[in-house]
Amino acid sequence: MLAKPLIKQIKLARPDDWHLHLRQGKAMRSVVGMTARQMGRAIIMPNLSPPVKTVKQALDYRKEVVSALPKSSNFNPLMTLYLTDNTTKQDIINASNEEHVYAVKLYPAGATTNSESGVTSLPNVYPALEQMQKESIPLLVHGEVTHDDIDIFDREAVFIETILEPLTNKFPGLRVVLEHITTKDSVDFVTQSRDTIGATITAHHLLANRNHMLVGGIKPHYYCLPVLKRKVPHQDALIAAATSGNPKFFLGTDSAPHYQNEKESACGCAGVFSAHAAIELYADAFEKANKLDMLEGFASNYGADFYGLKRNTEIITLEKRPWMVPKSYSFSDSKVIPFLAEEQLSWRLML
Ligand code: DOR
Ligand code: ZN
């Protein structure tokens, strides 16, 4: 049998990031260029402090992001609103009339970073969800229950059973993206559900499992929410889904920069920063699974299709040129530690 020729270069349509945290002000200005260099578009999360709840706030935030971009950049930030108990039908109508607002994000109150204003009880947002169903605005879901009595490793699976399944039954026309999925339960749920239900998968959930975070000492830069799970069956199910060619699964980094000291703390905050090497990290994961040929669909096509947007046509090139991820990047007046700091990546985006 002939050996497979070694692949040295991959060309693909410019990818998009369907789940990204950019923060604000100086912090945002430190990181936005990294995403803009790689991605055509990104869905920008609204969990600022205070959260982005109205179209006006979303447009102001967008302006701030755009003004931080290099002049030559064609990067398009796609804005979202933060769903609260008080979101009205009119807020949704306003969103649907605004070309730069693409989705509404559901954080269960207390689930993660800056989620204090999140939804406390789903019936509170039924009128908003009804309107979203009508206007065909996607609901982006942080899929974890927050009850103290539910083990943190089970929170996603319990969310699907107790919240998401009833919700998707109640609103059968609602478009839903289950964000940053971490379990086989989510893969199965999304695979078996109707076509209007999709999911994003992060590079860190493809490349790491809870052993990376907990063996040999607690590694705070691997801590994110939903928390990393076991390799078998969860990480393996995510890899299989991402590389399957099923268009319900697409790229969303959930890159979430935090100050180094706030991660390396007695109560470290949740978030993995991966914008520095997003597409390279995914390329590594797909190569490990021997599925590089499935990367373009996942990274560049299926998300655009789900959102009903045109696919990017510009082509990017990745080359097999091993490089070392820096120890840190400057982040406002401090530092952010990137995912896989000081480790070697195989693929490099050529510009
Ligand atoms: O790990 C996370 N970090 N998960 C989230 O859901 C939020 C994010 C953040 O904003 O830091
Ligand atoms: Zn997120």
Question: Along the 351 residues of the chain, how does pLDDT read in single tens digits?
Answer: 666 667 899 999 999 999 999 999 999 999 999 999 999 999 999 999 999 999 999 999 999 999 999 989 999 999 999 999 999 999 999 999 999 999 999 999 988 888 888 999 999 999 999 999 999 999 999 999 999 999 999 999 999 999 999 999 999 999 999 999 999 999 999 999 999 999 999 999 999 999 999 999 999 999 999 999 999 999 999 999 999 999 999 999 999 999 999 999 999 999 999 999 999 999 999 999 999 999 999 999 999 999 999 999 999 999 999 999 999 999 999 999 999 999 999 999 998
Task: Supply the residue whose CA is at minimum distance from atom 7 of ligand 1.
Answer: 113
Whole-number Å distance between alpha carbons of 276 and 262: 19
Locus of tokens 């070392």: 324
Catalytic residue among 91, 254, 284, 333: 254
Burial 157-187 (b: 16+ CB within 10 A, else e): bbbbeebbeebbeebeebbbbbbbbbbbbbb
Task: Supply the residue whose CA is at minimum distance from atom 2 of ligand 1.
Answer: 271
Please tell me the predicted confidence (pLDDT) of residue 113: 80
Whole-number Å distance between alpha carbons of 18 and 7: 27
Q: 42 near 16, Cβ under 8 Å?
A: yes
Residue 151 is a catalytic residue: no
Cα of 325 from ligand 2 centre, angstroms: 22
Which helix (H) or strand (E) element contains residue 56? helix 55-67
Please tell me the predicted confidence (pLDDT) of residue 115: 84
Among all ligands shown, which has an atom nearest to the Cα of 226? 1
Cα of 38 from ligand 2 centre, angstroms: 19
Whole-number Å distance between alpha carbons of 284 and 66: 30
Q: What would the two tokens of residue 177 be?
A: 């993206």
Q: What would the two tokens of residue 247 be?
A: 């268009």
pTM summary value: 0.97
Residues contacting ligand 1 via CB (< 6 Å): 21, 47, 112-113, 142, 224-225, 256, 270-271
Rounded to a whole number, what is the distance in angstroms from the first to the last CA of the chain?
36
Cα of 53 from ligand 1 centre, angstroms: 18
Please tell me the predicted confidence (pLDDT) of residue 111: 83
Q: 323 near 281, Cβ under 8 Å?
A: no
